[in-house]
Structure 1
Amino acid sequence: MKKPLKLPHKLGLTLLLAGSLGACATLSSDGGEGEVRAQAASLLNQQATPTTTEGRRQASAALLAKPLSAEDAVTLALLNNPRLQRQFADLRITETELVASTRPRNPSVTLARLTQDNESEVGRSIVVDVIGLLLSPLRTPIAKQQYQNAKMVAVQSVLKLAHDTRVAYFEAIASRQRARYAVDVQTAAEAGRDLARSLAMAGNISRLDAAREQAFYASATANRVRAQADAALARERLVRQLGLANDQSLALPETLPELPATPRVLNQVEQLAMNQRIDVQLAKRHAESTAKALKLSKVTRLVNVLDVGYQRNTYSDAPKQTGVEVSLELPLFDFGSTRVAQAEAIYQRSLAQVTETAVNARSETRTAYAHYRTSYELAKHYRDEVMPLQQQIADEVLLRYNGMLISTFELLAQSQAQVDSMNAYLAALQDFWLAEAELTSSLQGTVDAG
């Protein structure tokens, strides 16, 4: 009686356990960081950044040795940003949790020893989660799909960091350029104030005109202070994005990049977004994972708990007892319909999410592209029309002033108009580069278009 119970059941449980463990998912070497960096680099048209600490340090030092371009700033952020490193650690944690979910529960062992007078009884049993073993091959593909989804979320985070870095980069340069121009304006306003004061004392202009020049100088001084403060704040925002301890090693260009000769032309901007936007791909993958989980719910709707145990008992000098214990959950109150209904509702929700994501993606991309083209045309208008006209007017006014045909006040008024035009052009140029960053991110599906 002992052999049929002892050897075949042990052998069957051993084979079942070995087969289920063979189907379990395994941990990657770096938690998926290298794969995420490579996929993000492909979308960013960059080389993948190194994952080792020493590799990142050397690459950072090489970038900081020269003034940063926008793409260099993105690369530096991907190397150093501590928030990104934390997200990669979270990805590793997610991987461990998903891999653990594919593995059945550890067998439980029970040991008991009972005594009565001079007699004793020793009981030994081991219980194995059979349902977990049987369903392990089904859970593994689902866990792998969920892990792929988690990696796509990490890619989305990398792209979001790239977008935020570009925005901080252009804002830092633009604010610095405005601050420098504000200093020049204040210097010119100071000269105008002193000239107007001298002319007023000589009786050549009215006290009203002199007061206007004094007011312009006071306003220029306030604008210079505000511009310098804004530049310092924008630089610090960029430093945080780059993950630098301080800004002493950060070198930036003196001015914003010039407008490109021609704007980007996207004939099929919506289709391009559908093909490469991360949020659209993520929604589709989530729907696929939900569909697989729905099949698993249907498989386990009647039997969700099935434990099989092997027992071996001894009682004093009596023959040993061996046998098998089976623990089965009886579906008396819940036949699994709630689990299946819940899974089906979740799947319908995921399908609706795919549709909503696709509709929003098309609209966001069209909006971002329209903003990009408008910003380009406006900056180009200031550069090619407004600024040359202001310079032409300034030259004519100066000629008339030198010929004593106009007053000093008219010359100074034209200088103020030219200052306003320059500030408007700098704002339009900054808006264009921010719109370019928004368009890039909209095509990647990392931020909402403005």
Structure 2
Amino acid sequence: MTPFRRPRPACLALAMAAACALTPAAAAPLSGGLAASDPATPAPAPAWPLLPAQPSAELPALPDGAAAARAQWQRVNEQVAGFARGHIDLLRWEQSRPDASAPAAEAAPTDPLTLQAAVSASLRQQPDLFTRAEMNVRERAEVQSAWARHVQSVQKAWIDAVAARERARLMAQAHDVSRTGAELGRRMVVAGNWSQARQMREQLGESAAWQALVSARLAERAAVEALAGRLGLWRGEDVVALAARLPQGLPALPDAVWPGRDVAAERIEALALQADAELTLMRTEVERERRASDPAREALLQQQMDQALARSGMSGPPHIQALERPGDAAAERSLHGQARLLARAAERRSAARLAWQQLAMRHAAARQATDGLLRLQTALDQENLLRYNGMLQSTWDLLASARERIAALDTAQQARAAYWRALADGQALLAGAPASAVSLSPDTAAAGSTGAATPGH
């Protein structure tokens, strides 16, 4: 019998390492999809910014008797008299104190997530969208089409997230303006210069602005979550960090309708056809089938189809007689192939025309909103401020002008977002995505969604 021998130190280390590798307790911690799909993975609630306090529906109590009303009026006006513009300066001074409840301005991200960086990060989670040397032409065409569609989805998710955050900031500004009007109205009632009916109008405006802010914040979080899903982020804290990394606004509108590429209306259809590798393969097959077919038999089969259409009604599909000659099968394959090719080419040409028309119109609308609507509203806002400083307009005119300016900003940024979404559709089509990648994007909320200006005196 072979005597027992001690293992050498090196062998012992190797044996222990092998044993540890087979022990479940020594397994590497879960990550990626394994961790995300494990119900036991901790999932703390994400620390999204809180909403401002809900607006109050309470009305200030009126003084009891003429003497009490006179004393209250005198006390309030003495407080206001120390400020050049009265109530609004007093309110701004109170909000600028360290203990003010107004939210602080959001700082710009030091490392903003660009569109290109978002696309690259998403592709790390898409191994099926990488081409390989052993792929044939058709397999490469399928990957190219899926890649283009994926890039389009990430682009639009990034655009939606940036636009939603920008709109949420505008709705927060609109809410702050309405809150200021409601507080000034309350002070006017306390001073005896306003009726409670007018104060209730201001409170209704604040409530509407608060509801719009809630909707904008929810839309923002939904857009950020959608982008996070495409980037493979599943932890709540990572999603909040992603939101903080988004740029504060969309890129500026380019001068050209289609930037960075020589694309024009007369070339868009040809470029869209060239980008469809599957269409090229179909065309090659149809040409081969047509060369193998007898044109006379094709013409006869087409005649039979026309006669069947003339006989048929709406009760069922048209019916033709059974094939009688060997050449009819080749003719039928040729006709069917040409029909499929025609359908695909027509669909792709239509998508190309729609992509160009939508992009051109979105570009014009965004340009008008920026150079026309927003410029006019900004000039009017400055004029109203000058008139207010000259005591020619009231505080309420200034607040109404602020609401209109925010509404114009909202319209301009939404028009810009619609343009970038349309460009993503067109780029996807010219990169090989199917024709269904191009669709008419619905218009978002119209101007004035921040709430109508409250009439003042």
User: Under a length normalisation based on structure 2, what TM-score does the superposition of the two structures give?
Assistant: 0.57
Separation (CA, whole Å) in 2 of partners of 1:207 and 1:424: 33
Distance 1:207 1:230, change over 3 A: same
Distance 1:218 1:154 in 2: 51
2:122 aligns with 77
Match of 2:430 in 1: 443
CA 1:197/1:413 → structure 2, altered by over 3 Å: closer, same or farther? same
Residues 439 and 449 of structure 1 are in contact (CA less than 8 Å); yes or no, is this contact kept in structure 2?
no
The equivalent position to 2:277 in structure 1, one of 272, 281, 285, is 281
Q: Residues 38-68 of structure 1: CA distance to partner in whole angstroms, max 9, x if unpaired?
A: xxxxxxxxxxxxxxx9xxxxxxxxxxx9422
Q: Distance in 2 between matches of 1:425 and 1:224?
A: 18
Report the Cα distance in structure 1 between the residues aligned to 2:137 and 2:276, rounded to whole angstroms. Answer: 14
Gap change, CA 1:242 and 1:209, over 3 Å in 2 = same
* 2-structure distance, mates of 1:279, 1:262: 22
8 Å CA contact retained: 1:273, 1:442: no
274 and 281 in structure 1: CA distance in 2 versus 1, 3 angstrom threshold? farther
Letter in 1 for 2:351: E
What letter corresponds to residue 274 of structure 1 in structure 2? A
CA offsets 1:257-305 (integer angstroms, 9 cap, x no match): 11113333756545454345467431231343466689999xxxxxxxx
User: Deviation at 1:199?
Assistant: 1.4
Correspondence 1:172 to 2:145: no
Contact map agreement 1:176 1:231 (CA 8 A) in 2: yes
Equivalences for residues 163-202 of structure 1 within 5 A: 163-202=152-191
Q: Which amino acid aligns with 2:341?
A: V
State yes or no: 1:216 paired with 2:212.
no
- How is 1:77-156 mapped onto 2 (pairs within 5 angstroms)? 77-81=122-126, 85-86=127-128, 147-156=136-145
Question: What is the CA-CA distance between 1:390 and the residue it aligns to?
Answer: 1.3
Q: Kindly provide the CA deviation profile for residues 64-112 of structure 1, in whole angstroms up to 9, marking residues without a partner as x.
A: x94222222222222223xxx35779x99xx8xxxxxxxxxxxxxxxxx
User: Which residue of the partner structure matches residue 226 of structure 1?
Assistant: 215
Q: Please, which of 399, 404, 426 is the counterpart of residue 391 of structure 2? A: 404
Structure 1 equivalent of residue 252 of structure 2: 258
Distance 1:221 1:371 in 2: 34
Considering fraction of residues, name the structure with more helix: 1
Task: Kindly indicate whether residue 358 of structure 2 is the aligned counterpart of residue 351 of structure 1.
Answer: no
Over the aligned positions, Cα root-mean-square deviation in angstroms equals 3.4
The 1:68/1:434 distance shift into structure 2, 3 A limit, reads same
1:374 aligns with 2:368: no
Q: For the Cα contact (< 8 Å) 1:273–1:443, is it kept in 2?
A: no
1:339 and 1:222 mapped to 2: Cα distance? 72
Task: Give the conservation status (yes or no) of the 8 Å contact 1:442–1:449.
Answer: no
Q: Give 1:285's aligned amino acid.
A: L
Q: How does 1:263-274 map to 2 (within 5 A)?
A: 263-264=257-258, 268-274=264-270
Q: How does 1:327-346 map to 2 (within 5 A)?
A: 344-346=331-333
Runs of 5+ unmatched residues, structure 2: 1-31, 33-109, 294-322, 441-457
* Partners of 1:403 and 1:345 in 2: CA distance: 85
Match of 2:426, SS state, is helix
**Equivalent-residue separation in structure 1 for 2:213 and 2:325 (angstroms):** 67
C-alpha contact (below 8 Å) 2:286/2:338 kept by paired residues = no
Could you list the per-position Cα deviations for residues 370-418 of structure 1 after superposition, in whole angstroms to 9, with x for gaps in the alignment?
A: 2112111211112112112212222222333333333333222222222
Cα deviation digits, residues 144-195 of structure 1 (max 9, x gap): 9xx4223212210000001111111100100011112222222222122101
Q: Is the 8 A contact 2:275 2:429 kept in 1?
A: no
Aligned to 2:112: 67
| Structure 2 match to 1:418 | 405
CA contact 1:372–1:436 (8 Å) conserved in 2: yes
More strand by share: 1
| Aligned length, in residue pairs | 294
Q: CA 1:245–1:270 in 2, change beyond 3 Å: closer, same or farther?
A: farther
SS of equivalent residue, structure 1 residue 221: helix
Question: Aligned with 1:234: secondary structure?
Answer: helix
- For 1:443 and 1:449, locate their aligned partners in 2 and report how far apart those are by CA, in whole Å: 14
Identity of aligned pairs, percent? 25
Deviates more, 1:155-164 or 1:239-248: 239-248
Decide which of 360, 366, 375 is 2:347's aligned counterpart. Answer: 360
- Maintained 8 Å contact 1:379/1:428: yes
Taking the aligned partners of 2:280 and 2:335, their CA distance within structure 1 comes to: 12
Structure 1 alignment gaps of length 5 or more:
1-52, 54-64, 96-143, 298-335
Amino acid at match of 1:254: Q
How far, CA to CA, are the matches of 1:445 and 1:168 in structure 2?
19
